[in-house]
Each structure stands twice: as structure tokens, then as C-alpha cells.
Amino acid sequence: MIEIFPYSNIVTGILVLIVGFVFHWIAQLISFINWEFATKIGLQEKGMPKEFKVYEHAIAGADVLIGWIYGIAGVGLIANFPWSYKLLWFPGIILIYHGISVCLWMGNQKKIGQQLVSDNFKIIWSTINIITGVLAIITAWQIG
């Protein structure tokens, strides 16, 4: 196995745990179970139109169904289990998807006059997701 840099499995595992498991799975689980509480603690935007909430709640449910994989892949990478590199493809691809889709979704919101978050947040969140996703795919590619 060729490492892209020393301890890349640990760095990638930690990023997948933070960005994927904590910010996606745990935050979306809270949002899915109790939307009002999630809004109160800042996980969801205040003043969201009703039709956006329906979509966002559905996305939270989808994230909850798949996001547990982030935790298993992240812990597996830190422990350097060979199977975790194969499992890592899922978080890698999904995080890139999240980075692109959130940018487009928030851009479309802005076009109709419903900017719920700042452009800086959109750029930072998209970039973090895409970088983590690309690093995950590169790390997953390491094992042959």
C-alpha cells in the first residue's frame, strides 16, 4: 500500500468522522428527530419557508439512513483496517455530492430571494465537503 502522505489514513479518518459523522449524521439525526430543537441550536436555518423545510427534512432522513457509514469508515481508517478503505468510497462520493449539491441548492435559494445563509458559509461548507470527499477517494484508492 502506498500512502499519499504519512498517516493519511488517520488524517482522512478524523476528517470523515468530523465532517461526515458529526456534521452530517449526528446533526441530521437531531434535525430529523426534532426540527425545532435543531433550529434552536443552529443546525437548521431560522425563517425557512415551509416548502424548503419539507425538502430539508427529507434530506435529513436520507442522510440519517446512510451517514452511519461515515463513523464506521472513519474508525476503521484510524485503526488501519483493510476493509475500511473499500467502505471509504461511500463517504468520499457522498461528501463530494454534498459539497456540490449544497452549493447549487443555496444558489437556487438566492436566485428566488430566499438566502438563508451567507455566501461565505456556502463556499466554506462546500469546500470542506469536497476536500474531505476527494481525500477520502484518494485514500480509498491506495489499497489495491
Residue 87 domain-assigned (yes or no): yes
Lowest mean pLDDT: which of 4-8, 54-58, 113-117, 139-143? 113-117
pLDDT attached to residue 96: 97
Residue 2 domain-assigned (yes or no): no
Sign of the alpha-carbon torsion through 22, 25, 120, 10 = positive
- Compute the distance between CA of residue 133 and CA of residue 97 in angstroms, rounded to an integer: 8
pLDDT attached to residue 1: 56
Q: Residue 125 region, left (φ>0) first, then alpha (ψ -120 to 50), else beta? A: alpha
Residue 43 domain-assigned (yes or no): yes
pLDDT attached to residue 5: 85
Residue 27 domain-assigned (yes or no): yes
* CA count, 13 A, side-chain hemisphere, 20: 34
pLDDT attached to residue 76: 97
Residue 40 domain-assigned (yes or no): yes
**Are 69 and 87 a contacting pair, CB within 8 Å?**
yes
Residue 45 domain-assigned (yes or no): yes
Domains contained in the chain, number: 1
Decide if pLDDT at 144 tops 80. Answer: no
Residue 3 domain-assigned (yes or no): no
Residue 69 domain-assigned (yes or no): yes
Range of the domain at 13: 8-141
For 57-110, what is each residue's pLDDT tens digit? 999 999 999 999 999 999 999 999 999 999 999 999 999 999 999 888 888 888
For 11-63, what is each residue's pLDDT tens digit? 999 999 999 999 999 999 999 999 999 999 988 888 888 888 998 899 999 99
